[in-house]
Structure 1
Amino acid sequence: MRLVPLFGWPLTLAVVLVVVAALAVSARWLLRPAGDPGARTAWWRRVALGAVMVLILAGPSLPVTEAVAVSNVEIYLVVDRTGSMAAEDWAGGPDAGGGTRLDGVRGDLAAIRDAYPDARFSIIALDSAAARELPLTRDTDAVSSWIGALQQEVTDRSKGSSLERALPLLAQVLTTAAEAASENARLVYILSDGEATDDGAGADAAAAAGVSWEQLAAVVDGGAVLGYGTESGGSMRAFDGSGAEADYIADPDTGEPAVSVPDTAELQAVADALGIAYLQRTGTDDQPTTAFTDQNVDQVLSDGRERKRHTRYLTWPLGLVAAGLLIWEGAALIRADRAVRELTRPAVAARAGNQAGGPI
């Protein structure tokens, strides 16, 4: 057992001084030689009450360590937000009540989040560069906020991109995670249309870094590659960051609205290299989200243990003692008040009689 003051030692010591001073003053009156026979009992009762209150403030407690089951699943989301992901071929496009590919991405991200409420999430955003915008966290509110704020990159800043641009960063993140906790399960979800517009710059950077999708298969336990877009493709509007509706991005060769067509072969190749499933998503007759969220991680979910240390206060028995002493003190004060009234009643009656028999 140890003492952990409820309000800190300075306040506890201040209360001790106040209690000692109050008892000293009380002793002068109650313990005087001519005092009432019951006064000594009253003083010791108040000593006991003061001691109990000080002990409660001192916080007698026991350190407690608990092992709590937690999820050992880590989910890595690689989200393509290049301009082509704003192509309007999701669920028939805006004219048919649909939207852009990013609308589909938001819905699927929410489904992944809801399927693993106890997992840890990390998000890598992919546009002209790859950036880890959310480190591993169990804060699903942070994940929800990121999903809600997801927008395509600003068109004027676009320098082309490809899935390989995310490969070096993803490899670094997964390798570090595997070294830190090899027993954890790592699920990777890549959400993209697979279209490469960087003239091979991303692939060259990955090759220079000495990483490939095949190498990552050893540290990936599941997940899926989710592709977006239809065979006929769709046009996309420019984006300046303000949210105002802009013109369609033009094809530099024709001057007409450019059409983005998903590279399903690239998406399939990445999925095969990682050893995970590939599903093409168009917003029409898609497979249910359980097709990519129903991963076999039950064993991992039950294996995690997190040790939590906290202090368990043992003040409630002292509280019962204090309550008993307060009830005793209250009863004693009531008896004393009645005794005083009995002693003063003859004098009060005599005074009333004198007033009644006096001159009119």
Structure 2
Amino acid sequence: MTLLPIVPWALLAAMGVAVVALTLWAIIRGPGRGSTVRGSTGPKGSVRPAAVRGAAVALLVLAALRPGWPGTEARTAVADVDVFFVVDTSTSMAAEDYNGAGTRLSGATGDVMAIARELAGARFSLITFDNKATVRMPLSQDATALQTAMTILQPQNPRYANGSSITGAGALLKERLAAAREQHPGRPALVFYAGDGENTAAEAPVTLPVDESSVSGGAVLGYGTGQGGRMKDPSDTEAGYLQDKGSGQDAVSRIDEGQLKNIASQLNVPYVHRTGNQPTSDMLAKAQPGALTPTNDDGPGRVELYWLLALAGFLLALHEPVRHLIALREVRSLPSRAKEPLA
């Protein structure tokens, strides 16, 4: 069990001492003058109301400690961080060699949303690239919009593919990073690049034009295997696979980890090969998110218990008004009883 007090410890301690002292004083003082409640004229009658009031206040003090059980999926809230996702949507991202027979893009989608959940409170931007780079989502704290944008992503139709560069989003990323820094100077930026490293453009990939100092952390996430995977042809109604024009066999795409590591070096972030078997925490641990500012907000992963104490205190506090209502009814019934003829 953990405690996350909503007020300083010193104040809570003072409140606790005050509750005990006032309760003892009320018990020692004895029944209040002019008490009209039946059964309140003896020692027991004075002890019970005072003890109930003291217990109710004590429960509220304990609730202010905010006890709870830490969950297994507690999230870290962060502030003043921009997160840029650069996702490869070229045809090769349809290759079915992620975590068995899943597509590489499905793996990237799952990781992007897992990162967004872990970095709740940050601003997110989504940039995709194939033949050209596109800003799918400008910087926003709307994680739902990010999820929608990732859900509808599809690998590029091979009919329109004429070769893609793995650094094709470099110029656009540089522009977006500069705009974010101009709007919020000093705000850290994390970059997560997700792709398979397969460069199909006629030219060799150029160096990323991104200023290394503008990237505070992040990671290059690689998808695919050395054995490679086949790609479904979206234009084939029978869900056939793309064919290699040279051999006439199913085309196979393979990850190029050398290219991905080169991109990671240019961004000065680590490279992480994603297979679908590693937890997100492992990926983030390597992402150098030193710019994050953790808060005391544990998010929905924490099981809160304070409300049980508060509810119990509220129920005990009801004893006082109920006691007075009963006393009032008895007082009002006295005149009518006095007029009743003797038997």
Q: Are the counterparts in 1 of residues 264 and 270 from structure 2 also a CA contact under 8 Å?
A: yes
Deviations 1:234-264 (Å, cap 9, x if unpaired)? 1101124xx9553211111101111101110
Q: 2:214 is matched with which residue: 211, 219, 222?
A: 219
Q: CA deviation at 1:213?
A: 2.9
Return the structure number with greater strand share.
1
Identity of aligned residues (%): 38
1:89 is aligned with what amino acid? D
Q: CA RMSD, aligned part only?
A: 2.2
Deviations 1:45-100 (Å, cap 9, x if unpaired)? xxxxxxxxxxxxxxxxxxxxxxxx9821100000111110111111121xxxxx11
Q: CA deviation at 1:214?
A: 6.8
Q: 2:223 is matched with which residue: 195, 219, 228?
A: 228
| Structure 1 counterpart SS, 2:154 | coil
Q: Are the counterparts in 1 of residues 78 and 119 from structure 2 also a CA contact under 8 Å?
A: no
Task: Give the corresponding residue for 2:291.
Answer: 297
1:292 is aligned with what amino acid? M
Task: Give the corresponding residue for 2:199.
Answer: 196
Q: Gaps spanning 5+ residues in structure 2: where? A: 1-76, 297-343
Task: Give the corresponding residue for 2:273.
Answer: 280
Q: CA deviation at 1:182?
A: 2.3
Deviations 1:133-169 (Å, cap 9, x if unpaired)? 1000111110111121121112211111122211111
Q: Are the counterparts in 2 of residues 214 and 274 from structure 1 also a CA contact under 8 Å?
A: no
Moved more, 155-164 or 129-138: 155-164
| Structure 1 counterpart SS, 2:168 | helix
Q: For residues 273 and 70 of structure 1, what CA distance do their matches in structure 2 show?
A: 26
Q: For residues 179 and 87 of structure 2, what CA distance do their matches in structure 1 show?
A: 20
Task: Give the corresponding residue for 2:161.
Answer: 158
Q: 1:172 is matched with which residue: 171, 175, 191?
A: 175
Q: 1:111 is matched with which residue: 104, 111, 114?
A: 114
| Structure 2 counterpart SS, 1:164 | coil
1:199 is aligned with what amino acid? A
2:262 maps to 1:269: yes
Matches for 1:45-194 after TM superposition, within 5 Å: 71-93=79-101, 99-194=102-197
State which structure, 1 or 2, has the greater radius of gyration over its C-alpha atoms.
1
Q: 1:260 is matched with which residue: 225, 236, 253?
A: 253
TM-score (norm 1): 0.57
Q: For residues 147 and 293 of structure 2, what CA distance do their matches in structure 1 show?
A: 26
1:86 is aligned with what amino acid? A
| 215 and 110 in structure 1: CA distance in 2 versus 1, 3 angstrom threshold | closer
Q: For residues 226 and 147 of structure 2, what CA distance do their matches in structure 1 show?
A: 30
| Structure 2 counterpart SS, 1:134 | strand
Q: For residues 231 and 105 of structure 2, what CA distance do their matches in structure 1 show?
A: 11
Task: Give the corresponding residue for 1:56.
Answer: none
Q: Are the counterparts in 2 of residues 124 and 130 from structure 1 also a CA contact under 8 Å?
A: yes
| 262 and 180 in structure 1: CA distance in 2 versus 1, 3 angstrom threshold | same
Q: Are the counterparts in 2 of residues 90 and 282 from structure 1 also a CA contact under 8 Å?
A: yes
| Structure 1 counterpart SS, 2:98 | coil
| Structure 1 counterpart SS, 2:121 | coil
Q: For residues 160 and 217 of structure 2, what CA distance do their matches in structure 1 show?
A: 34
Q: Are the counterparts in 2 of residues 223 and 292 from structure 1 also a CA contact under 8 Å?
A: no
TM-score (norm 2): 0.59
Q: CA deviation at 1:281?
A: 1.4
Deviations 1:169-212 (Å, cap 9, x if unpaired)? 11111122222222111000000001000111763xxxxxxxx4
Q: For residues 140 and 271 of structure 1, what CA distance do their matches in structure 2 show?
A: 25
| Structure 2 counterpart SS, 1:200 | coil
Q: For residues 151 and 129 of structure 1, what CA distance do their matches in structure 2 show?
A: 14
Q: Are the counterparts in 1 of residues 196 and 223 from structure 2 also a CA contact under 8 Å?
A: yes
Deviations 1:275-308 (Å, cap 9, x if unpaired)? 111011123xx43211233422334879xxxxxx
Q: For residues 153 and 233 of structure 2, what CA distance do their matches in structure 1 show?
A: 15
Q: Gaps spanning 5+ residues in structure 1: where? A: 1-68, 94-98, 204-211, 303-360
